[in-house]
Amino acid sequence: MKRARIIYNPTSGRELFKKHLPDVLIQLEQAGYETSCHATTGAGDATKAARAAVERQFDLVIAAGGDGTIHEVVNGIASQEYRPKLGIIPVGTTNDFARAIAVPRTIEGACEVITTGEAVPIDIGCVMNEGKTRYFINIAGGGRLTELTYEVPSKLKTMLGQLAYYLKGIEMLPSIKATEARIEYDGKVYEGEIMLFLVSLTNSVGGFEKLAPDSSLNDGMFDLIILKKTNLAEFIRIVTLASRGEHINDPNLIYTKANRIKVTAPNNMQLNLDGEYGGLLPGEFVNLYRHLEVFVPKEKAEQMRAGF
Ligand SMILES: Nc1ncnc2c1ncn2[C@@H]1O[C@H](COP(=O)(O)OP(=O)(O)OP(=O)(O)O)[C@@H](O)[C@H]1O
């Protein structure tokens, strides 16, 4: 029998996962997995639990939580030589990664993807900053706006879900200022004031499903977005365009693919990794080609093979 380890965050989203755990265990048992569980206790615990699952050579690690939990689990696995397959049960607030790999946002549906879907290799982002190596699965970014994701209190997210981010975004608008940065990408350089930069692995970021419309999960390339300095009115106009995927040809924006990206910023720019604080820049980003096998629905696996 194959062995699976569920790492779940009991505080994720609307805090519903634990109630469904017996059903999940039955579904996995029927699919041939002997399964055990770990409930996370706080920040960083999912990384430790994932590392322990690697050491114990589990075949499958299931991250049940929001993007923060998935991020932590990936950070426990990605640096290791033996990497168990990854399953996702999205019970968080935004669940960007689940949306990007077409995993349904019901517990039963997500479990079915693990039991009847296909494990496909996908790219993982790696960043070296502050003398550490960290990994991300969805997006890295810098600039004042990207800091709002970890300024939204957990209680507010439990109560309001996605709306909490929008409220925080509106509250922050007047304080969004441009910052100096130098961004080197595959031999090219942009230097100047920017509102934000994003290094994306998927097309689904912060609830914006068309932010990086050309992104592919397994082409070994990041989608790099640099938003140059704008005034507030321009900024709001571009965000509105971005919600419809119509921003990429805007002259205030650079949108390109790159495999290696180096960012330096003189003013202590913070790095956001999958919605979590990821230390200070400078940093260097490398795309790890097809580094981790993740369960996706069969149709999605076929699409990916066809190059979508
Ligand atoms: N027992 C716990 N109590 C409090 N916080 C926890 C606990 N376990 C994990 N955490 C922290 O909660 C953070 C956020 O969790 P997670 O991403 O799963 O849910 P979310 O915030 O509801 O969703 P999203 O990230 O999609 O907005 C994790 O990064 C982790 O550090």
The pLDDT tens digits of the residues spanning 86-126 come to 999 999 987 889 999 999 999 999 999 999 999 999 999 99
Q: What are the pLDDT digits (tens) for 220-248?
A: 999 999 999 988 888 878 878 887 888 88
| ipTM of the shown complex | 0.94
Is the per-residue pLDDT at 163 higher than 70?
A: no
pLDDT of 266 reads 87
Q: What are the pLDDT digits (tens) for 17-62?
A: 999 999 999 999 999 999 999 999 999 999 999 999 999 999 999 9
The Cα–Cα gap between 240 and 246 comes to 9
Is there an atom of ligand 1 within 6 Å of 206 CB? no
Q: Whose C-alpha lies nearest to ligand 1, atom 9?
A: 42
Q: What is the mean pLDDT of residues 196-211?
A: 80
Q: Of the residues 16, 40, 91, 159, which should be mutated to test ligand 1's pocket, given the most ligand atoms within 8 Å of the CB? A: 40
Just give the CATH number of 132-289: 2.60.200.40
pLDDT of 176 reads 73
Is there an atom of ligand 1 within 6 Å of 278 CB? no
> Structure pTM?
0.90
Residue intervals in the chain for CATH 3.40.50.10330: 2-116
- 2-116 to CATH, choices 3.40.50.10330, 3.30.470.30, 3.40.50.2020, 3.40.50.170: 3.40.50.10330
275 CA: nearest ligand 1 atom? 25
Question: Which of 94, 90, 298 lies closest to 204 in space, CA to CA?
Answer: 94
- Residue 143 Cα, ligand 1 centroid: separation in angstroms? 23
72 CA: nearest ligand 1 atom? 29
Is there an atom of ligand 1 within 6 Å of 200 CB? no
Q: Which of 29, 130, 276, 293 is catalytic?
A: 276
Give the number of other Cβ atoms within 10 Å of residue 223's Cβ. 24
